[in-house]
Structure 1
Amino acid sequence: MDTHDVSHVPEYLRYLQVQKQNLTNAKAVKGHPAIPKKSKDEILMQFMSRRMQLMRMETPANPVNLQASFLPHAYPPCVRPFSALKKVMIDSLCLETHHRGRYLLLRTVTPTDTLTSVMAIVEDEVGSVLMLLLYNQEQELSGAQSLREGTVLVVKEPYVKVMADGDYGIRVDHLSDVWFIPEFDDLVPLSWRERVTQADENASTWKAKGNEHFDRGDHRSAIQCYSKTLEAHPSPELLVIAQLNRALSCLKSDRFDAALRDVESVLQVSELSAKALFRKAQALYQLQRFKESCETHAILAEKFPGNTMAAHENARASARLVEQDSGKYDFRKMILEANTLQPPRLDHATYIGPVTVKQTRSHGRGLFTAEAVKAGDLLFCEKAFAHAFHKGNASGLRLLLNVDMDKATIGTQAELIELIVQKLYKNPSLLPGFVDHHGKYKSVDVLEVDSIAVVDTFLVGRIVLLNSFGCPLVSRESHIRSMKGDDTAKKANEQFHSCGFWSMASYINHSCLSNARRSFIGDMMIVRASRDLPPETEITFWYKSPMNGDPTELPVDLQHWGFKCDCTLCQDIRSLKPSVLLDRSRISADLQRLFKRPKINSRKIEDTISSLAGTYCRPASEVPRLALYSSYLSLAAFYASSGNLREAVKFGLMSLESLGFVIEGGNIPHVSDAPLVVQTWGLMNDGVVGCWMILCFAYRELASPLASQAGGYAKLSYRICVGEDGTFDQTYDRLSNRVDGLLTTAK
């Protein structure tokens, strides 16, 4: 939704087709021995040479040379306990085969390289080597926790693929299919150990080693050492210290579920441990459990009133709880935060307003109003479950190829998949709520093996491609760009490279005749009603905008989501004869050419618009006349700037009415004391704000009482479009040198 889908662009479609052909070719060698064509020395030399070459390369700016992330055919993660797996060696592996019931014990023999996966050459116990490709691990295996030369690991149920260059590699997509083994583990052969663990290494020694790793920022190794401390029969005092230290390491590495378990264990034996209470409150905060975090802080404040850091964190948790309960946000402050932070992941809570999830008649579950709402009312304001930010240059963009779904997208979807997989893997308590959005995909029904979360990467990938939203940094900036531009199609269908996943928003079904509007501030999505809605009304917004200016592109193609839109607009389009649509398209093209001429011939344009209106038979209040909207609006702006204010009002109202608005009291001459009233709200887009401001401009001379009312509707429409109206006066002004009120200095 608003992501950059390039599945039908020839230059990118070719990449998808090549990947499909590669998979077909790979089937021909399935089951063949995975014996490398090169010697061990050749494999090592080639890897190191390519690594040095890539380190010298700059990120390509040519879109065709984007890094491509390829999702192969889906396969399930290993769900067998490790005790049920049998060890195999590299020379017994077969190509294009998932070796179920087997595992590899490996050691890295090179530093890592990173493109779309973390790569290294690994060897088994007899010295056979292959390339290892770990997907969705890039951010985890960085810094002090990087995959260093000599790292020992287990790959469960290994899969050997034929890579694009014809060489072989062990591909791992699921995080739980690889274990990083500490040097002291019994699985590590003596020949691979730098030193043998001494029998007299006690709990204190392991705790000291854990502290050393923590100080270096290697939280994974620190957790392993603190766990070893707990296994070494520590004293009661040392046991508590080790659990608290492990909890802190877990907090630092975003393992909030594990941190919570450790501090709960400490609180069972030391009910008033300040560190345990503080770290519990922190873990609950990061899991968005703000009420419980505040309750924990209340105990902490009562027992340890002098703890200033705890007081600060308590205030932060209390602020989030207020947002969560009331939906009251300082949106202007949030915009400043979004423009300052990179990535713009804001520290704010999710507010769920008068909405509820219910079953629909034909489109699964959807979101419905729980009470009557008015146009502009806040339905919910949701923090992204995960958000992948793109800065705006070529760096960081990837071409994501999904063969199973036959999709190609450009943006940060690959990064988003990695972020979500990591978050779920580290915090399995979040799994049930997330996998609620999988559609018909059949995944494994095992959530944990050997106390490790099992996360199906391909399930996450499917959910991201079906339910993620492309998003601007701030919708106000997108709105301003739209209003300053002159390409109507681009305005209506702006695509974004940043993207995120919002759980509540994912329940909203598509309709071209949407009744809600989404907007963004950083990783916060704001959803407001775009018309008055009675209770029990399904909330909808468009996945793809129908307002692209080309009648031949209606009804909107929703094959990606597996359904057809059944709104009255699409039903009407399907009922028309092809000749009518061709006439509509031809006349629309004629209008575009007329508006592009150096001198506007308003009479000719009005006659052509009348011809276009003749291709419609149902009133706009029933079926919006989208092909007429932009022409009416352009005429209104032309007449307003020419001083013909009566015609400006006439065509401004007609523009709104073409979107389905039903407006009373706005015609000229104005009936004394008759208010300007929107009886029915129509489709909402950025241009509606400018249209109301054009009316406001004209009414100042023709019917001054209506000017302020039109200005009020402009501000309300702005709130719906950008999510807030606190910045309206920084963006629009009646005294602007533009007839649509947009300030030329707005940015």
Structure 2
Amino acid sequence: MDTHNVSSIPEYMQYLLTLKQNLRNAESCKGQHPKDRKSRDQLVLRFMLQLMMRSDLANVRRDEVRTNLRTTFVPLPYSPCLNSLLDLAKVMINDLLLETHHRGKFLVLRSVTPPTRMNAIMAVVEDEDGDAILLQLYYQEEEDERAAKEILGEGTIVIVKEPYLKLMSDGEYGIRVDHLSDIIFLPRYDGRVPKCWKLGLAERTASVNTWKTKGNGYFKECNYHAAIEQTKRFDAALSDLESVSIAPKPAEKVLFRKAQALSSLQRYRECCEVLKFLRMDYPNNMEAKGELSRAINRLLEQESGKYKFKQLHAEAFKLCPPHLDHATYVGPVTVKDSGSRGRGLFTTKAVKAGDLLLCEKAFAHAFADDTTAASRQKLDLTLLINPGTDTVTIGGRAELIQLIVQKLYRNPSLMPVITDLHHGSYMPAGVSEVDGTAVVDTFLVERIISLNVFGCPLSSHQIYLRDIEEEVTQKTNAEEAGKKFYSCGIWPMASYINHCCYCNAQRSFIGDMMVVRATQDLEPNTEITFWYHTPVANGYDERQKRFQHWGFKCDCAMCKDEQTTKKSVSAKRNRLGVDFKKHFHPITAASIAKIESIIAAIADTYSQPASKVPRLCLWAPQLVLTELYVRRKQPAKVIDSALAVLAALGYVIEGGSLPRTVGTPMVIKQWGLLEDSLVECWLHLCKAYRLVAPDLEKQAEQYARITYKIVVGEDETFDETFRNVLK
């Protein structure tokens, strides 16, 4: 949803077609022995030359290029190894066959070059016979050269379970590893290391001392949080600490580490209890005092939904990536069965328009934004090609796969949070652990991401401010309605919200926090819905095509009406829309009269009442006309036109029209389809009422504030944003 999908652009479609041809070429070699395989020395020389060339190119372009676009692809899915290493038989590089998953086999390899990192960590490796090949490890840790050297530095010894030999696009051969549990890293003193590669006693002792020093460094000056964050293995940390933390007086370090691990898993109530115990037994620990205050604030957010949204904005623009230290709040909603729609999110009590339903921190968030905070660093984007689904996207999708795979691998307790999400027809492996190691099916994660990912801006408030600066005529451009973003993430609870064009909720973003608010007054047990794609006027067929990815057709009131609308009527609306745009230069009384007549003609093409079926072709032109009346200082016409905008979107409003009886309140009897531009519409009413119906000004302002809160997620910035308007 809202990710930067470029599958329909010819330039990128060519990448997809070329890749699919390469895959067909590779498939034709399946089961064959590699031909003309290079010697160890040839492979090492070629790899080192490429390494130097990439390094030189990176140095030249470091200050010149702000955007780095890489290309990677999702191979055809294959299962991780589900067998214990004890049940596998050893093979050598010379035994491998092309395009084959060698089930029931394993390789022991040693890297003979430094690693490089592109889309994968790569190095030339050898077996005991001295045969060599390129090894590609995908979805490993953070993408930097330091991590690459620590993972696959020269001399690293690994076991590859059920190796997969590939014919690569450049005609060379390589072993590709997509599942983290399919690779086992061996210290040189491990009994499985071939004798010819074992360390001597002195080297072995040095290695132990090195790790001891490094481990002690993690805890220097009580820096437990950094130590835990270094590995992000919170499950393991809690397991290790459980036995020692039940002593009559657990050690200070033990309690602090436990609290940090609980906090990282967002188990804030338990975290607070541990920190309170720590404060009682070790009152001089000032760091624990600060951590307790932080944990209490997170618990308040988690249980009450009370956030300081201005603070969230400040943090989002300061941090890069904008991963905020805040908790998830699940409001009056619950996951329930939704019939043919699978599972959905439903209200547990009555809510009002603007009420907070959900404020969720992303399970994982890949930041790739070319504005504000991102301008401080190079923008790294990935062109992710999926030949299985014929899709091409630009942005953080590839990084998101890596982030989630790593998080689940390190913390298996979190597995159900992701694997319980919709994954279509993909069949999971059904095995969660082998040889004491978590099994994470990378392709299941990729499939879940493809069906549940949200594209997102750094800040919906920032996007809103940008949009209101655009020319008014752009509001009538249907193409501008759909926003696409490079950054993306997975918000598990929000993923249960089903689509409806005529939706009753809206999402917004602040950093890696998603805010979901009701756009209508809702009864208990009402299913929450929002857009997967913004509905475009007269776009029924195209809209339904987009939904094929999720395997459904939208049958909302608007889609049903468009489906039954004659093509001649749709064509007439399109002609009127084109004609409408011709009358803005110059703006005269005659041109405004023409615009009014065109809007009336568009309204005449609809047969259903707007209170039941919002009129997508009507509201935007009507809003443009409203703004023309504002410029010409005609408050009575502003009021009539602004109310007509709201009516076109399904709003039913009493007490706002002229003439009226002073003292009669204005009431929204039915909230309609919410569009971002309605904030401006309400503000136009606010200013017009100030002149001709002062008692309604504050009511219009209040409705503007509620609408703004829905659009950007909060109303703390409302007064600052519209300071000049509200004077």
Q: For the superposition of Structure 1 and Structure 2, which TM-score range results when normalised by the shorter chain?
A: over 0.9
Q: 1:42 to 1:104 in 2, by over 3 A?
A: same
**Alignment-mate amino acid for residue 52 of structure 1:** M
- 2:30–2:100: 8 Å Cα contact kept in structure 1? yes
- 1:141–1:147: 8 Å Cα contact kept in structure 2? no
* Partner Cα distance (1:64, 1:298) in 2: 47
* Partner Cα distance (1:104, 1:417) in 2: 26
Equivalent residue for 1:574?
Answer: 563
Equivalent residue for 2:297?
Answer: 319
- 1:668–1:702: 8 Å Cα contact kept in structure 2? no
Equivalent residue for 2:107?
Answer: 104
Superposed counterparts of 1:149-548, under 5 Å: 149-196=154-201, 208-214=209-215, 249-268=227-246, 271-392=249-370, 395-437=379-421, 438-486=423-471, 487-488=474-475, 489=478, 491-547=480-536
Residue of 586, 597, 611 corresponding to 2:601: 611
* Partner Cα distance (1:670, 1:102) in 2: 84
Equivalent residue for 2:680?
Answer: 690
- 2:67–2:380: 8 Å Cα contact kept in structure 1? no
1:12 aligns with 2:15: no
TM-superposed deviation, 1:214: 3.1
TM-superposed deviation, 1:432: 1.3
Q: 1:36 to 1:365 in 2, by over 3 A?
A: farther
**Alignment-mate amino acid for residue 593 of structure 1:** K
Alignment RMSD (CA, Å):
2.5
1:90 aligns with 2:68: no
* 1:636-685 deviations in Å (ceiling 9; x for gaps): 00011111221111111111111111111111222222111111111112
- 1:290–1:317: 8 Å Cα contact kept in structure 2? yes
- 1:546–1:556: 8 Å Cα contact kept in structure 2? no
* Partner Cα distance (1:638, 1:405) in 2: 47
SS in 2 for 1:546: coil
* 1:241-272 deviations in Å (ceiling 9; x for gaps): xxx99998555210111111111132356752
TM-superposed deviation, 1:41: 2.3
* Partner Cα distance (1:140, 1:113) in 2: 11
* Partner Cα distance (1:713, 1:628) in 2: 21
TM-superposed deviation, 1:213: 3.0
* Partner Cα distance (1:464, 1:62) in 2: 30
* 1:406-458 deviations in Å (ceiling 9; x for gaps): 21111111111110110000000000121011233111011111111100111
Identical pairs, percent: 49
**Alignment-mate amino acid for residue 102 of structure 2:** H
Which shows bigger deviation, 308-317 or 500-509?
308-317
Residue of 674, 695, 703 corresponding to 1:705: 695
Q: 1:142 to 1:658 in 2, by over 3 A?
A: same
Equivalent residue for 1:229?
Answer: none
TM-score normalized with structure 2 length: 0.93
* Partner Cα distance (1:156, 1:262) in 2: 28
- 1:692–1:710: 8 Å Cα contact kept in structure 2? yes
**Alignment-mate amino acid for residue 451 of structure 2:** L
- 1:544–1:556: 8 Å Cα contact kept in structure 2? no
- 1:30–1:94: 8 Å Cα contact kept in structure 2? yes
TM-superposed deviation, 1:594: 2.8
* Partner Cα distance (1:247, 1:103) in 2: 37
Equivalent residue for 1:239?
Answer: none
Residue of 632, 637, 655 corresponding to 1:642: 632
Which shows bigger deviation, 640-649 or 29-38?
29-38
TM-superposed deviation, 1:550: 6.0
* 1:615-651 deviations in Å (ceiling 9; x for gaps): 2110111110011111000000001111122111111
TM-superposed deviation, 1:64: 12
SS in 2 for 1:520: strand
TM-superposed deviation, 1:196: 3.9
Equivalent residue for 1:587?
Answer: 576
SS in 1 for 2:549: helix
Equivalent residue for 2:2?
Answer: 2
Q: 1:693 to 1:722 in 2, by over 3 A?
A: same
TM-superposed deviation, 1:317: 1.1
1:677 aligns with 2:677: no
* Partner Cα distance (2:235, 2:30) in 1: 40
Q: 1:551 to 1:178 in 2, by over 3 A?
A: closer
Q: 1:269 to 1:63 in 2, by over 3 A?
A: closer
TM-score normalized with structure 1 length: 0.91
* 1:196-230 deviations in Å (ceiling 9; x for gaps): 4799x6xxx9874432233677x9xxxxxxxxxxx
Q: 1:269 to 1:198 in 2, by over 3 A?
A: farther
Q: 1:306 to 1:168 in 2, by over 3 A?
A: same
**Alignment-mate amino acid for residue 384 of structure 2:** L
1:113 aligns with 2:116: yes
- 1:383–1:502: 8 Å Cα contact kept in structure 2? yes
- Number of matched pairs: 709
SS in 1 for 2:102: coil
Equivalent residue for 2:73?
Answer: 70
* Partner Cα distance (2:138, 2:588) in 1: 58
* 1:692-728 deviations in Å (ceiling 9; x for gaps): 0011111111111111111111011000101100000
Residue of 620, 633, 650 corresponding to 1:660: 650
Please list every run of 5 or more consecutive structure 2 residues that lacks an aligned counterpart in the other structure: none
1:53 aligns with 2:53: yes
TM-superposed deviation, 1:310: 1.4
* 1:479-518 deviations in Å (ceiling 9; x for gaps): 1111112333455211111111101000000000110011
Q: 1:431 to 1:560 in 2, by over 3 A?
A: same
- 1:118–1:138: 8 Å Cα contact kept in structure 2? no
SS in 1 for 2:561: helix
- 2:66–2:379: 8 Å Cα contact kept in structure 1? no
Which shows bigger deviation, 649-658 or 481-490?
481-490
**Alignment-mate amino acid for residue 467 of structure 2:** S
- 1:321–1:349: 8 Å Cα contact kept in structure 2? yes
* Partner Cα distance (1:62, 1:455) in 2: 36
SS in 2 for 1:700: helix
Q: 1:599 to 1:120 in 2, by over 3 A?
A: farther
Q: 1:491 to 1:596 in 2, by over 3 A?
A: farther
* Partner Cα distance (1:346, 1:596) in 2: 47
Q: 1:245 to 1:476 in 2, by over 3 A?
A: closer
- 2:116–2:145: 8 Å Cα contact kept in structure 1? no
- 2:39–2:131: 8 Å Cα contact kept in structure 1? no
- 2:538–2:570: 8 Å Cα contact kept in structure 1? no
SS in 1 for 2:110: strand
SS in 2 for 1:366: strand
**Alignment-mate amino acid for residue 567 of structure 1:** C
- 2:302–2:327: 8 Å Cα contact kept in structure 1? yes
* Partner Cα distance (2:703, 2:245) in 1: 56
